[in-house]
C-alpha cells in the first residue's frame, strides 16, 4: 500500500477518483492527508466526506514559494506521506518540496505534454484547433509541466465540441489515467530511468500488470 498526500486547489474531481478507487479496493493506497492552498475548495469537502484529514495552507501568507513548500512538507511528513499527488493544484512547487520527496511527486495535466503546458490547457488546445489532445501524468520537476512523462491518454476533438464538452471528456480520461498510474506505482511497476544518451530526456518505464 502506498501512502499518498494529495495537493488540491479547486473542485477535487481527481481526488474523488482516487478516493473512489480506494473505496472500491481497486487501488491499494491510503490518502493520509489532503492539503489545499484554497481554504474552501470543494476538494476539501470531498476529503472531509471521506474522513481524510485536511489542511488549508494559504500560499499568500508566506513570504516565498519556498516557505510555503516547507510548510506543506512539514504537514506531509507529519502524516507519513510517501507519494505526493498534485491533483488540480494550481501552484508551482520548488525544490524544497521536490527534494523532500525526490522522484515521488506526480502531477495530472489536461493536455498531451509537451503540448499546451500551463493553465487552461483544454482551452489552449481548443482555440489552437488541435484535432487530438488528452491528458498526461508526469513526475514533477522544477519546470512548468516539464517533468518525465509516466502516462498519457489521447482525446479526439470532435467537430461538435465546445471548450466545455472537450474539457469534460478530458477530465473523464484524467480520472482513469491517474488511477492507472497510481496502481502501477503501488505495484512498483514504474521505473524512472536517467537519460541514456545526449539529447534524450529521462524515460519512465511502466511495466504491464502481472496477469493472473
Ligand atoms: C483538471 O483538468 C486538472 O488536470 C487541472 O484542473 C482540473 C480540475 O481538476 N489541473 P480537479 O477537478 O480539481 O481534480
Q: What is the pLDDT of residue 210?
A: 85
Q: Which of 6, 9, 12, 13 to mutate to test the pocket of ligand 1 (most atoms within 8 A of CB)?
A: 13
Beta strands in 72-189 (DSSP E): 83-86, 105-109, 132-139, 149-156
Residues with beta carbon inside 6 Å of ligand 1? 10-15, 43, 87-88, 108-110, 171, 174
Atom 2 of ligand 1: nearest residue by CA position: 110
- For the chain, what's the residue count? 212
Q: Which cell numbers hold the place of 151? A: 502516462
Asked whether residue 212 carries a pLDDT value surpassing 80, the answer given is no
What average pLDDT does the structure give for the chain?
97
Atom 1 of ligand 1: nearest residue by CA position: 88
Asked whether residue 94 carries a pLDDT value surpassing 90, the answer given is yes
- Report helix, strand or coil for 54: strand
Identify whether the C-beta of residue 12 lies closer than 8 Å to the C-beta of residue 86: no
Closest CA to 10 of 31, 49, 39: 39
What is the value of pTM for the model shown? 0.97
Catalytic residue among 40, 59, 104, 109: 109
H helix or E strand, kind and range, residue 192: strand 190-193
32-46, 76-90, 121-135, 186-200: segment of lowest average pLDDT:
186-200
Amino acid at each position: 500500500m502506498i501512502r499518498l498526500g494529495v495537493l488540491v486547489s479547486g473542485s477535487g474531481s481527481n481526488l474523488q477518483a482516487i478516493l473512489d478507487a480506494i473505496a472500491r479496493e481497486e487501488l491499494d493506497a491510503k490518502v493520509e492527508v489532503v492539503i489545499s492552498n484554497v481554504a474552501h475548495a470543494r476538494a476539501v469537502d470531498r476529503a472531509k466526506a471521506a474522513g481524510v484529514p485536511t489542511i488549508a495552507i494559504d500560499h499568500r501568507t508566506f513570504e516565498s514559494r519556498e516557505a510555503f513548500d516547507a510548510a506543506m512538507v512539514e504537514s506531509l511528513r507529519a502524516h507519513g506521506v510517501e507519494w505526493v499527488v498534485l491533483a488540480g493544484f494550481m501552484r508551482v512547487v520548488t525544490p524544497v518540496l521536490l527534494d523532500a520527496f525526490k522522484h515521488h511527486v506526480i502531477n495530472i495535466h489536461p493536455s498531451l505534454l509537451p503540448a499546451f503546458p500551463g493553465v487552461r490547457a483544454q482551452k489552449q488546445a481548443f482555440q489552437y484547433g488541435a484535432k487530438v489532445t488528452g491528458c498526461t501524468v508526469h513526475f514533477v520537476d522544477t519546470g512548468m509541466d516539464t517533468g518525465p512523462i509516466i502516462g498519457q491518454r489521447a482525446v479526439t476533438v470532435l467537430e461538435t465540441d465546445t471548450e466545455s464538452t472537450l474539457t469534460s471528456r478530458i477530465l473523464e480520461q484524467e480520472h482513469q489515467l491517474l488511477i492507472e498510474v497510481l496502481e502501477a506505482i503501488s505495484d512498483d511497476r514504474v521505473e524512472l530511468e536517467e537519460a541514456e544518451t545526449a539529447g534524450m530526456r529521462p524515460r519512465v518505464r511502466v511495466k504491464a500488470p502481472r496477469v493472473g
